[in-house]
C-alpha cells in the first residue's frame, strides 16, 4: 500500500485507577495516535467499464502489509469517481497473508459515490498486518464510458504490540545504580531497586502502572545517547513518568556530558512531552571520580532550570543518605583509582533513595495522591 508518513504529536497522560489525572483517560484512538505514525495514501485506483463488467465485481484490492509488520488503524476511506457508482468496500482481516483471523467476520461499507464528489467512509478499525481491502461495484449509474476510480486511506501505522487497554508506564533510564545492581533479588518479591520500590509503592496505592526499567549497567551518558538514537527508549506505551539517573560512570569531559544531556532532554521533550521527567543526579562516589560527579550535578541542575519545562524536575540523590555510613553498602577503595571500592548501595541504601524520591514525588504531585 503506497503511502506517505508524517509524525504525530504524542499525548501522554497519567491516569491512575483511584484518581483521575488530566481530564479523562486516553481514548483508544488517542492511544493509537500517540503510539503510531499518521499515514495517508492510495489503497488503489482503477477504471471500471460499466456494462462490460458485471456488478459485484472487485475492481481494487489493497493490502495492509506495512514494512516490518506494522498494523494499521484506519480512520477513514475516501472514494473519488468520474461517474455515479454504488460501491461496497469490504475489509477481510488477514485473508491472503495470515489467513482469516478466527472469529472475525468481514466488514462491509456501502458507498454511493457521485461523480466528482469525494465520498468519505468513517472506518475506525484496527487492521492486522496482511488484511485485504476490496472495492466492489454494486451498481453502475452511467453506462456512457468508463468510471475512473481512486481509493484513499487515512490511517495510523502502529507497532504490533500496541494495546489500547494497556497499563500506564513508569520508565527508568540509567546505569547499574538505576538497574539495582547491589540489591537483593527475591523471585517472590523482585522490588528491591530504588526504581522498583517507587513503582511498587504506586501500584500498592491502586495505580494501574507498569514499571519498565531500561537501564544498562556500566553505561555512560554517551552510551545512553547512542541508545536513544537506536530507538531503544521508543516505548510503545503510554509513558507517564520517566526517571533518568546517570553519572556514576564518568564521561570523557564535562563538555561531552553537557552535549549528551541536552540531546537526551530534547528527546524526552519531543517523544514524551507530557510525561513527568525526573532528572536524578547520582549518589556520591567515595573516590576521586566524585570530582566529576560534582560537576555533573551542577550541569544537570542548570540544564533543568534553563529548560523551564514544568514537567521536568531535578533531584540530587546524594541527599538521600550518608554514603560514608557503611550500613548502606558503599565501600571506599583506593581514592585515586577507585580500585577495591564499591559504588553500588545495598537494599538499605536503595530503600533510603526510594524514600527520598517518594517524598519528592508526593510534594510535586508526580502521581496525585
Q: Compute the distance between CA of residue 269 and CA of residue 307 in angstroms, rounded to an integer.
A: 10
Q: Which three cell numbers stand for residue 195?
A: 526504581
Per-residue confidence (pLDDT) for residue 199, from 0 to 100: 84
Per-residue confidence (pLDDT) for residue 280, from 0 to 100: 97
Per-residue confidence (pLDDT) for residue 175, from 0 to 100: 93
Per-residue confidence (pLDDT) for residue 12, from 0 to 100: 35
Q: Judge contact between 192 and 347, C-beta under 8 A.
A: yes
- Entry pTM: 0.57
Q: Which three cell numbers stand for residue 327?
A: 550500613
Residue 217: exposure state from Cβ atoms within 10 A (0-12, 13-18, ≥19) = middle
Per-residue confidence (pLDDT) for residue 63, from 0 to 100: 53
Residue 170: exposure state from Cβ atoms within 10 A (0-12, 13-18, ≥19) = buried
Per-residue confidence (pLDDT) for residue 162, from 0 to 100: 56
Residue 188: exposure state from Cβ atoms within 10 A (0-12, 13-18, ≥19) = exposed
Per-residue pLDDT 10s for the chain (369 aa) are: 333 222 222 233 333 333 333 334 456 677 677 667 788 877 766 666 655 444 555 655 555 544 445 677 888 888 888 888 888 887 776 443 333 334 445 778 888 889 899 999 998 877 766 677 777 777 776 666 777 888 888 888 776 555 555 556 789 999 999 988 888 765 555 457 899 899 888 877 777 777 888 888 889 999 999 999 888 888 765 688 999 999 999 999 999 999 999 999 999 988 888 789 999 999 999 999 999 999 999 999 999 999 988 899 999 999 999 999 999 999 888 888 878 888 999 999 999 999 999 999 988 888 754
Q: Which three cell numbers stand for residue 205?
A: 496505592
Q: Compute the distance between CA of residue 183 and CA of residue 68 in angstroms, rounded to an integer.
A: 39
In the chain, the domains with their CATH numbers are: 4-158 (2.60.120), 168-363 (3.40.50.1110)
Q: Judge contact between 278 and 357, C-beta under 8 A.
A: yes
Per-residue confidence (pLDDT) for residue 69, from 0 to 100: 53
Amino acid at each position: 500500500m503506497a503511502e506517505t508518513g508524517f509524525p504525530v504529536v504524542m499525548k501522554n497522560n497519567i491516569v491512575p485507577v483511584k484518581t483521575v489525572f488530566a481530564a479523562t483517560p486516553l481514548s483508544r484512538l488517542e492511544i493509537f495516535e500517540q503510539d503510531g505514525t499518521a499515514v495517508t495514501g492510495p489503497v488503489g485506483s482503477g477504471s471500471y467499464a460499466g456494462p462490460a463488467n458485471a456488478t459485484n465485481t472487485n475492481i481494487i484490492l489493497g493490502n495492509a502489509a506495512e514494512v516490518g509488520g506494522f498494523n494499521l488503524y484506519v480512520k477513514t476511506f475516501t472514494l473519488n469517481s468520474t461517474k455515479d457508482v454504488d460501491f461496497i468496500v469490504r475489509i477481510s482481516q488477514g485473508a491472503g497473508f495470515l489467513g482469516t483471523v478466527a472469529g472475525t467476520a468481514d466488514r462491509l461499507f456501502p458507498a454511493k459515490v457521485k461523480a466528482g464528489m469525494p465520498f468519505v467512509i468513517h472506518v475506525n478499525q484496527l487492521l492486522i498486518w496482511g488484511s485485504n481491502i476490496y472495492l466492489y461495484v454494486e451498481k453502475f449509474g452511467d453506462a456512457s464510458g468508463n468510471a475512473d476510480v481512486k481509493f484513499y486511506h487515512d490511517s495510523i501505522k502502529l507497532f504490533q504490540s500496541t494495546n489500547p487497554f494497556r497499563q500506564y508506564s513508569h520508565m527508568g533510564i540509567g546505569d547499574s545504580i538505576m538497574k539495582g545492581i547491589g540489591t537483593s533479588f527475591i523471585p517472590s518479591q523482585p522490588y528491591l531497586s530504588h526504581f522498583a520500590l517507587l513503582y511498587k509503592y504506586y501500584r500498592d496505592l491502586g495505580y494501574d502502572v507498569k514499571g519498565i526499567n531500561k537501564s544498562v549497567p556500566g553505561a555512560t551518558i554517551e552510551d545512553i545517547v547512542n541508545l536513544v538514537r537506536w530507538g531503544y527508549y521508543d516505548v510503545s506505551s503510554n509513558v507517564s513518568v520517566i526517571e533518568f539517573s546517570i553519572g556514576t560512570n564518568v564521561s570523557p569531559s564535562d563538555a561531552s556530558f553537557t552535549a549528551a544531556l541536552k540531546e537526551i532532554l530534547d528527546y524526552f521533550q519531543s517523544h514524551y512531552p507530557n510525561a513527568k521527567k525526573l532528572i536524578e543526579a547520582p549518589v556520591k562516589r567515595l573516590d576521586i571520580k566524585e570530582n566529576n560527579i560534582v560537576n555533573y550535578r551542577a550541569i544537570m541542575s542548570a540544564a533543568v532550570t534553563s529548560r523551564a519545562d514544568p514537567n521536568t524536575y531535578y533531584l540530587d540523590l546524594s541527599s538521600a543518605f550518608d554514603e560514608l555510613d557503611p550500613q548502606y553498602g558503599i565501600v571506599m577503595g583506593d581514592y585515586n583509582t577507585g580500585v577495591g571500592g564499591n559504588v553500588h548501595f545495598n537494599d538499605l541504601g536503595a530503600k533510603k533513595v526510594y524514600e527520598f524520591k517518594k517524598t519528592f514525588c508526593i510534594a510535586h504531585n508526580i502521581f496525585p495522591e
